[in-house]
Structure 1
């Protein structure tokens, strides 16, 4: 958003508007310093049950955030609406992330570690993630892949996204979609037919019944139900992603 935030002290009352970064804050050991989260911040469950929820990622309840008297709000360019962020800037400093690659993720973790005075925790986490992803280099799918995130209409993941980066740069797959971001598509008229179709658990909760439906349209493809959090959550969830990918694609 091309602006600078200034903090006069180490934040002690934090509101997170990003599910993957909420989980990151927990794993960095923030504890009671996080006072508010969204209804989609489902990890960890103990925070989901106990922390004040301030609405969704796209429709933040401004009054609930104000009532929490935060001294830092954490947002993300893709997850949150610009209008919400601009309004929240009148409440507290809003620190924004914009994530496209693994490198972006690691820089984000280190930056939050510095802001929150948890540098050692953040640096150790980044080293562990880097080590896990080095082991992932042995896994090369070398297949044409379609990653679906929505139904009615079908929507897929194209270039210029974190998921596409994971598919291409870390799993060695070729994305059949060429339109950037999250295009609406007709499965029957794809210019390039996928060899592998990945049905994400989020934001649309694809189930086993959808596998059969899509198999009729794309009979040549292998179709997997996948945990979308490991493909799209760019915080501490990255620690478990390489192991998940190995298990998923080694079956």
Structure 2
């Protein structure tokens, strides 16, 4: 079979022992009923909240312990193009087959869920999850269908300030949440100076709870510069984690509007 980078993944049979190097994919595996098959995870795999205590931690998403992964004798290693570096992929090439995801929008997300359904023989659960996410999305869209989109800037980092732009899953979710991204004309995660003219267009500045841990002090800092704008800390997981976490995203977007 092929992964989302169209690489061939050579699997002789259903993988029984799984190492996941992507937090949102670890949570997805658990939702699909595969928790017992997961043998290795990253230190950032915090959902469900008990999993860090029950699985072997093999490092982070950017730095891993290859020897630990070898010891686990995985049948498959699950990675992501954005989260894991090419060096990590190269170091694991001879350990086990590697499946790499590449999720930039909801269709990519649904494709990945279907792939996992096929690989791990849990097709029914995978299709149910996709349908439930689609239902949550439709219900939310009905709520906001007559509301004008507010213009936002969404920051993920400070020192330097970095915003979300096009060709990202977060930008897809910003649009789905009923906002218009003022940096949609740029790509990926551009560095932004606070005197950037595009920031003047934003009615709301959204500060993500991850990967940079924005706090109330950062709201106050920005309000001094932009006293007429709303500045809000938002749950970054619900904008950036694809997979089963999307079941919660649209409920959260409803609360944001409220």
TM normalised by structure 2 equals 0.93
Residue-by-residue CA offset, 1:129-180 (whole Å, 9 max, x unaligned): 0100011213245111100101111111011101111112x12322111321
Match of 1:153 in 2: 160
The answer (yes or no) to whether the contact 1:207–1:225 under 8 Å persists in 2 is yes
Residue in structure 1 matching 2:181, options 163, 175, 179? 175
DSSP 3-state at the match of 2:212 = coil
Post-superposition CA distance 1:13-40 (Å, at most 9, x none):
0000000000001111112200000011
Find the residue that maps to 1:95 and give its secondary structure: strand
Paired position in structure 2 for 1:241: 249
Partners of 1:146 and 1:196 within 8 A in 2: yes
- TM-score, normalization by structure 1: 0.96
Which residue, out of 22, 43, 49, partners 1:18? 22
Aligned residues: 249
Q: Residue 171 of structure 2 aligns with which residue?
A: 164
Report the CA distance between 1:213 and its aligned residue.
0.5
* Equivalent residues of 2:207, 2:232 under 8 A apart: yes
How far apart in 1 are the matches of 2:241 and 2:6? Answer: 24
Q: CA RMSD in A?
A: 1.2
Q: Distance in 1 between matches of 2:49 and 2:17?
A: 20
What are the ranges of 5 or more consecutive residues in structure 1 without an aligned counterpart? none
Tell whether 2:222 aligns with 1:214: yes
Counterpart position of 1:80? 84
Task: Please say if 1:39 is aligned against 2:43.
Answer: yes
- 1:71 has 2:78 as partner: no
Contact in 2 for aligned 1:211/1:223 (Cα 8 Å):
yes
Aligned residue number for residue 186 of structure 1:
193
Residue 105 (structure 1) aligned to one of 84, 96, 109? 109
**8 Å contact from structure 1 (residues 187, 218) kept in 2:** no
Instruction: Note the C-alpha offset of 1:6.
Output: 1.4
Deviations 1:93-139 (A, max 9, x none): 00011001111111111110110000011111111001000112132
Rounded to whole Å, the distance in 2 between the matches of 1:19 and 1:215 is 33
- 1:208 is displaced (CA, Å) by 1.1
Gaps of 5+ in 2: none
CA contact (8 A) 1:230 1:237 kept: yes
**Distance in 2, Cα, partners of 1:226 & 1:174:** 16
Q: Is the 8 A contact 2:177 2:250 kept in 1?
A: no
**Runs of 4+ residues over 3 Å off in structure 1:** none
Q: CA deviation at 1:86?
A: 1.8
2:153, 2:199 within 8 Å by CA — same for their partners in 1? no
Deviation, structure 1 residue 3: 2.1
Instruction: Report deviation, 1:2.
Output: 4.2
